[in-house]
Amino acid sequence: MKLKKCLTGAAISAALPLVLAGAPAHAADVSTAQDGIALSNSYAGNSWRQQMLKMWSLASQQAVSGGVIAKTKVVNADNSAPQQASQIGDLTLEGWKAIVIDAASPTALNGVIQQACNAHIVVVVFDSLATAPCAYKVAYNYVDMGKMEADYVAGKLGGKGNVLEVRGIAGTSVDDDIHQGIVEGFAKYQDIKLVASVHGNWTQSIAQKEVAGILPTLPTVNAVVTQGGDGYGTYQAFKAAGRTTPLIIMGNRQDELALWKQLSSGSGGYPTFSLSSAPGVSSIAFWVAQQILAGAKVPKTVNVPLLVIQEQDLDAWLKAVPEGGVSTPLYSQQWTEDLIAANLSNAAPPASPIPNGVP
Amino acid sequence: MSTQGARHHGSVLRVGLPAVALIVMLGAIFTMQPRATSYFGLTVLLNFTLPAIFAAMAQMAVITVGDIDLGIGPFLSLVNCIAATLLAGHPLLGWLSLAALVGAYALMGALIHVRRLPSIVVTLGASFVWLGLALLVLPNPGGAPPSWLPALLSWKPPLLPLPVLASILLAICGELLLMHTSYGVVLRGIGGNPRAVAHTGWSLLAGRMVLYAVAGACGVVAGLALTGLNTAGDATVGTQYTLVSIAAVIVGGGEFVGGIVTPVGTVIGAWIMLLAGSLLSFLNISTDWQLSVQGGILIIVLGLRALNRWSGA
């Protein structure tokens, strides 16, 4: 009799996950108050990553003090995939319910990620993705970023002119994707010529040096398409060469926004726009992990919209970006839920919030 | 008599000190994280010692002759890239190129010996050749190893997890070959007293080439192990193993002067260098300290050894 009761209990608890899986799409009704979510970050040595870490700690501290989760932890690797892999192994042993990863390599962590998945740990990768199939991906569509730039430039130039392309670090998937989008975007416009491309490595000083080196060989440049972190350096190179300032796409860095503000206050203004990935994507990844733990239905890939800054929002963003930093909102749990819902129904993603002041 | 006693005392301390340190570290880890004591836990904790012990053994072979290898990290990356591309697509070509790499190491040893070049310069130069070749083989991270390789690395032998078993076997093999055969004595002699070895009719050139070939072979095994764990290729994946391997040899009781190395100590040293990171993580100390701690261990070991030599004199 007792045994029978036991068995029924076991059957009910075995059936429970099935019931939950069949529940309505956004039912995030499992409590995550006892769970811990850890961040494994491959590299902490630049301003984007520093801000990414800050956004993580803001989001996670908020969640801990609000009783949404129990604890969090951040481990940084020194841009070394084997080191990060060992660290993920350690986190697996420590019994974290979810591990969120900014990966040192798209492939080298796959073995250890699979190991964590096998131990029933939720793995979410973001920014620098890993390709392991069991991991949830919080991804930017960088091909779209290239296309948006190409369409904007073509519109502003009236479909005719010379364009210089400043690229990122060679061999990275981000650089390849943006470049592909730019080439595809301009393919529609016969009279727009990509006159040259240089690798500015997302760093103002390198972009300045590379653009300055190639400028003497170029005809009039009407516009420059960029990848972020290179617009200010590009402007300096044009200025030093005594050339007229072309239309430069900006990349959300504080120096680029300040430059844009300064240029637009001159006569005739300076119409352009600014776009980039936002370091706050770590807070999206955090909430995505929390939502999965809470039992919500989440697609294997959550697409995140790029942070686009238009001229009317420039002043508000200038107030919200720290000196030498990158513009980013701190994304909330609600915003992330909306984003997941939009991804599930193929709807347009929610608009990026604009913070009131530096988060 | 007294000097012999002191020397014996020194060699016991040489392996004894790191062994005690390792036991203390493991004790601390198991107390803080009981999950690590299970078969699965040990495997997760120690998986990445596999490439490290072989890389350390490769470094030890080179340090035996008083040289140093600054290219072993990028060499691992190159093996990783070949294993994730050629070895899967064209097994014969893959194995041939891995064999050619071992040959290249032997030739590097010959070059250093014949031209009397400093090994630090030659191996540093070679590191850029390995990196360049790795990028040629696999410009972007990706690829996949032949399926037997990840299967081999996830093999679960009875009783002991694979990393433990492999470490014990490697330490015993190294100890037998280098410390207990007559040619092993000759090889160590090349580092300690080359003139005496040459005097007794052994070829210094052949000895150095053998040790460099052993280093190359261990490097290939380390690279294959890394590939099996990562299940993909990446041209920059091995970089940190240069530092880890040198530190493992020194922490394990070896010395830069040549002739003084211990295979058992080297394996222990590799474990210590890797477990230091896990220990910090379990102690909830920020990982930003990890490199400093690894460097700190090295300095403490060298300091203790200097103190020991000073008190023994």
pLDDT digits (tens, 9 = 90+) for B116-131: 999 999 999 999 999 9
**Among A305, A252, A253, A245, CA closest to A271:** A245
Structure tokens of B173? 């093999």
Whether A106 and A153 share a structural domain:
no
Kindly tell me the number of DSSP H helices and DSSP E strands found in chain A: 12, 12
| pTM as predicted | 0.82
Structure tokens of B55? 């890389």
Q: Which residues on A lie below 8 Å from B152 (Cβ)?
A: none
Whether A295 and A339 share a structural domain:
yes
Whether A41 and A107 share a structural domain:
yes
Whether A332 and A241 share a structural domain:
no
Would A157 be classed as within a structural domain?
yes
Would A19 be classed as within a structural domain?
no
- pLDDT reading at A23 higher than 50: no
**H-type alpha helices, chain A:** 2-22, 47-65, 81-94, 110-118, 142-157, 173-187, 204-214, 231-240, 254-264, 281-293, 314-320, 333-344
Phi, psi of A123 (to 5 degrees): -115, 125
Q: Do B237 and A105 touch (CB under 8 A)?
A: yes
CB A38 within 8 A of CB A74: yes
What's the pLDDT tens digit per position in A298-335? 999 999 999 999 999 999 999 999 888 899 999 999 99
* Amino acid (1-letter code) at residue A133: P
What's the pLDDT tens digit per position in A191-246? 999 999 999 989 899 999 999 999 999 999 999 999 999 999 999 999 999 999 99
pLDDT score, position A28: 64
Q: Do A86 and B48 touch (CB under 8 A)?
A: yes
Domains: count for chain A: 2
Q: Do A108 and B288 touch (CB under 8 A)?
A: no
When the pLDDT of each residue in chain B is averaged and rounded to a whole number, the result is 90
Which residues make beta-bridge pairs with A74?
A: A39
Whether A153 and A221 share a structural domain:
yes
Q: Which residues on A lie below 8 Å from B231 (Cβ)?
A: 107, 110-111, 114
Whether A181 and A230 share a structural domain:
yes
pLDDT score, position A5: 42
CB B61 within 8 A of CB B75: no
Q: Do A93 and B291 touch (CB under 8 A)?
A: no
Q: Which residues on A lie below 8 Å from B291 (Cβ)?
A: 78
* Across A136-147, average pLDDT: 94
When the pLDDT of each residue in chain A is averaged and rounded to a whole number, the result is 89
CB B226 within 8 A of CB B47: no
Whether A238 and A295 share a structural domain:
no
CB B41 within 8 A of CB B97: no
Confidence of residue A15 (pLDDT cuts 50, 70, 90): very low
Find the closest chain B residue to A76 by CA distance. Answer: B287
- pLDDT reading at A35 higher than 80: yes
What is the SS3 assignment for A73? strand
pLDDT score, position A17: 43
Query: Which is higher by pLDDT, B247 or A108?
Result: B247
Question: In angstroms, what CA-CA distances link A338 with A26, A29, A295, A301, B243?
Answer: 10, 16, 16, 15, 47
How far apart, in whole angstroms, are the C-alpha atoms of residue B215 and residue B106? 9
Q: What is the domain range of residue A148?
A: 142-249
Distance of CA B236 to the CA centre of its chain: 18
Percent of all residues in chain A with a pLDDT value above 90, rounded to a whole number: 75
Would A358 be classed as within a structural domain?
no
Whether A149 and A242 share a structural domain:
yes
pLDDT score, position A339: 96
Rounded to the nearest angstrom, the minimum Cα separation between A116 and chain B is: 9
What's the pLDDT tens digit per position in B246-290? 999 999 989 888 889 999 999 999 999 999 888 888 888 887 787
Interface residues of chain B, partner chain A, Cβ below 8 Å: 33, 35-36, 40-41, 44-45, 47-48, 51, 139-143, 150, 153, 226, 228-234, 236-241, 274, 277-278, 281-282, 284, 286-288, 290-291
Would A226 be classed as within a structural domain?
yes
Question: In order of start, what are the domains of chain B with their CATH numbers?
Answer: 47-300 (1.10.3470)
Q: Which residues on B lie below 8 Å from A112 (Cβ)?
A: 47, 229
Interface mutation target, options B77, B152, B226, B234, chain A, most CBs of A under 10 Å: B234
Would A187 be classed as within a structural domain?
yes
Residues 6+ apart with CB under 8 A from B185: none
CB B13 within 8 A of CB B308: yes
- pLDDT reading at B1 higher than 50: no
How far apart, in whole angstroms, are the C-alpha atoms of residue A51 and residue A42? 14
How far apart, in whole angstroms, are the C-alpha atoms of residue B11 and residue B252? 11
Confidence of residue A285 (pLDDT cuts 50, 70, 90): very high
Q: Do B230 and A111 touch (CB under 8 A)?
A: yes
Write down the residue that tokens 């969640």 correspond to. A63
Phi, psi of A141 (to 5 degrees): -95, 95
Whether A296 and A231 share a structural domain:
no
Confidence of residue B11 (pLDDT cuts 50, 70, 90): low
Find the closest chain B residue to A172 by CA distance. Answer: B140
Nearest to B142 among A73, A95, A107 (CB): A107
Would A96 be classed as within a structural domain?
yes
* Amino acid (1-letter code) at residue A160: K
Q: Do B282 and A90 touch (CB under 8 A)?
A: yes
pLDDT score, position B16: 86
Residues 6+ apart with CB under 8 A from A318: A254, A257, A258, A261
Q: Which residues on A lie below 8 Å from B281 (Cβ)?
A: 75, 87, 90-91, 94
- pLDDT reading at A54 higher than 90: yes
Find the closest chain A residue to B44 by CA distance. Answer: A89
Whether A230 and A148 share a structural domain:
yes
Confidence of residue B312 (pLDDT cuts 50, 70, 90): low
Would A180 be classed as within a structural domain?
yes
Find the closest chain A residue to B43 by CA distance. Answer: A89
Confidence of residue B311 (pLDDT cuts 50, 70, 90): confident
**Of all helices (H) and strands (E), which one includes residue A197?**
strand A191-199
Would A1 be classed as within a structural domain?
no
Q: Do A90 and B142 touch (CB under 8 A)?
A: no
Interface residues of chain A, partner chain B, Cβ below 8 Å: 44, 73, 75-78, 80-83, 85-87, 89-95, 105-112, 114-115, 119, 131, 171, 173
Q: Which of A20-24, A136-140, B227-231 has the weakest average pLDDT?
A: A20-24
pLDDT score, position A207: 95
- pLDDT reading at B155 higher than 80: yes
Q: Do B281 and A83 touch (CB under 8 A)?
A: no
Looking up residue A219, the CATH number of its domain turns out to be 3.40.50.2300
Exposed/middle/buried for residue A214 (C-beta within 10 Å: 0-12, 13-18, 19+): middle
Whether A125 and A185 share a structural domain:
no
Model ipTM value: 0.82
Whether A45 and A101 share a structural domain:
yes
